[in-house]
Amino acid sequence: MSSTELKEFADFYADLTRRFALTQSVELWRDISERIHQLATEPENVTYREVTANGVPGIMVIPADSSPEQVLLHSHSGGGMVASMWQERKAVGHLAKAAGSRALVINYRLAPENKFPAQIDDVEAAFRWLLDQGYQPSRIASTGDSIGGNLALNLAVTRLRKNATLPGAVLSISPWLDMELKNKAIDANARTDRMLSRELLSAFRDAMLDGTGVAIDDPRINLVSADPAGLPPTFIYYGDYEILTDDSKKFAERARAAGVDIKLQSLPEGQHNFFVGAGRVPEISAAVAEMGAWLRSKIGPA
């Protein structure tokens, strides 16, 4: 049986969704979305420093006693249209502590003002900045949640396509990978997912792609169509109750068939992007500890 805190997490999401429905203003959607930071507790013994990574605003998350030689490059959630590095600062702090790493949370450009591929361009720019700071690629993990889970994987896919240096690992949480919205779970889990809907995903997708000439099945963003061969070790963690469960399962199946070191895990009764409740919900804190242990095993000291 799930904890009271996990049920309260779902209720918080339901209230957020209700508020989204009251307006079509992107500006107000962004204000409403920032409330999500309330779900995570403030991690102890973590400091923050704002930086600019090749023109991309970011927050360097520095847990006490973390290794200065390993780092998470984190892309936040929000459908490419809302949310920010400040919204996820605390949740990433918990993850960084669990991984024994520092983390760079970036504020990539948002749609509709900035269309795709601005988002992945910013992630790649930040990755190159970390390399310029002296981080070894094998000690960098690309992490992210929701559309940020797409971007975390996308960084490695994009670098593979360019035959360029890859991050040492990828952690993708509740990733949105199917821009065509074909997966059956979108309808099958419509009653259990308290945050997402087909209509909301369509709005986010259209904000990123309309007028760009990038088709919704283009593997540069529709990662269920991308070739996963050659990806670094990858961990995909999703919530059982979310409408994007099939995105995770199908990508993991294709990656495994391509020989990728892939781990797939789900949180029972977990909502979409459950990660943002780190430190407050026991089941989520346990999941974050599991993610952190995996990251240590992949980008920690040999």
How far is it, in rounded angstroms, from Cα 177 to Cα 191? 21
CATH fold group of domain 4-299: Rossmann fold (3.40.50)
Give me the pLDDT at residue 301, please. Answer: 82
pLDDT mean values, one per 10 residues, the chain (302 residues):
95 96 95 97 98 98 97 98 98 98 98 98 98 98 98 98 98 98 97 97 98 98 97 98 98 98 98 98 98 98 75
What are the start-end ranges of the E strands in 64-107?
A: 67-75, 101-106
Cis peptide before 68 (omega within 30 of 0): no
* 0.85 exceeded by pTM: yes
Pick from 255, 274, 275: nearest CA to 263: 255
- The residues, ordered by sequence, that sit 6+ positions from 71 with a Cβ below 8 Å of its Cβ are 101, 102, 103, 104, 130, 135, 139, 140, 141
Total residue count of the chain as it appears in this document: 302
Give me the pLDDT at residue 223, please. Answer: 98
